Amino acid sequence: MKIQVNKGGKKGRGLAPYIILSPYLLHLLLFVLFPIVFSVVLAFHKWNIISPMEYVGLDNIQRLFQDRLFWKSVLNTLKFLIVHIPLQIVIALALAYFLNEKILMRGFFRATFFLPVVISGVVVTMVWQQLYGLETGLLNRALIALHLPRVEWLSNPYMAMISIAVMATWKNVGLYVILFLTGLQTVPRSYYEAAEVEGASAWQQFRYITLPAINPTLFMVAVLSTIGGFSLFIEPYIMTDGGPLNSTLSAMLYIYKQAFGYYQMGYSATLGLFFALLIMSVVAVQKLVIEKES
């Protein structure tokens, strides 16, 4: 028997789909495809915006591998991720867990935790800069009031990136709370009731029922926050400008500085492409792990 496949009726639709899609296609062309192609071209050139481009072959790539500061910025970004991602996942999951219970003013809390997500990153960073202030910051004043030593939140090179990671977690956690809440709500009540009758404690119910059930959400959150974390920029840009001692110089911030601080457009493009490849390979590994798990 022959099976007829409907090819979507190509005939007769004409240009209509393309016209409807055109605003998006235009955007894609101007702001996604063109920059990618242009940065590939740039990667083989030297260009300071003002003078004409100069072809330099693989010089930029060679320079990248010898650029210690770039590798430090990559390492800084990884440090940030190591603090940020677990913190984000644990806090988001804990909040989601409690917001899923029948607690007072649940709707209010759900909205409140989401609020920082929609506030501008610049505003959030400026507020936290005040909180982290060495002498007058709210945190240190609280510590002093409790007769504890104050903390150099942003001026200690070991502390600064951790402080930024905490702030970034505060800012983004609401989004992941929502994702986890959605995951939690797909678990039928009767699973927990059956477990309760069997004698499982709250922790055992979480460990053996909730956690496996929200596994897909867990991985989605991990991937999203990895991608988000790699693009760390606004926070160190505003708070520390990469200092002290380049300890908060994230890869994105370094790439930005190469372009708009030193006008090394070609080199900056090279770094950008390389970093994009790095992110893609990390996400590809995560994807492999997810597919293996499920």
Residues at the site binding other proteins, with contacts judged by CB under 8 A: 188, 190-191, 193-200, 204, 208-209, 212-213, 215
Q: Which is nearer to other proteins, 6 or 190 (CB)?
A: 190
Tokens read off for 239 = 């708070």
Q: How far is the CB of 209 from other proteins (least distance, A)?
A: 6
For the four alpha carbons of 103, 119, 171 and 216, in that order, the dihedral sign comes to positive
Q: Which is nearer to other proteins, 101 or 135 (CB)?
A: 101
Q: How far is the CB of 82 from other proteins (least distance, A)?
A: 28
Q: Which is nearer to other proteins, 35 or 216 (CB)?
A: 216
Measured distance CA(185)–CA(190) in Å, rounded: 12
Q: How far is the CB of 109 from other proteins (least distance, A)?
A: 23
Measured distance CA(285)–CA(279) in Å, rounded: 10
Q: How far is the CB of 193 from other proteins (least distance, A)?
A: 5
For the four alpha carbons of 9, 13, 15 and 19, in that order, the dihedral sign comes to negative
Q: Which is nearer to other proteins, 208 or 256 (CB)?
A: 208
Q: How far is the CB of 90 from other proteins (least distance, A)?
A: 21
Q: Which is nearer to other proteins, 15 or 197 (CB)?
A: 197
Tokens read off for 57 = 């072959």
Decide: helix, strand or coil at residue 55. strand
Measured distance CA(146)–CA(113) in Å, rounded: 27
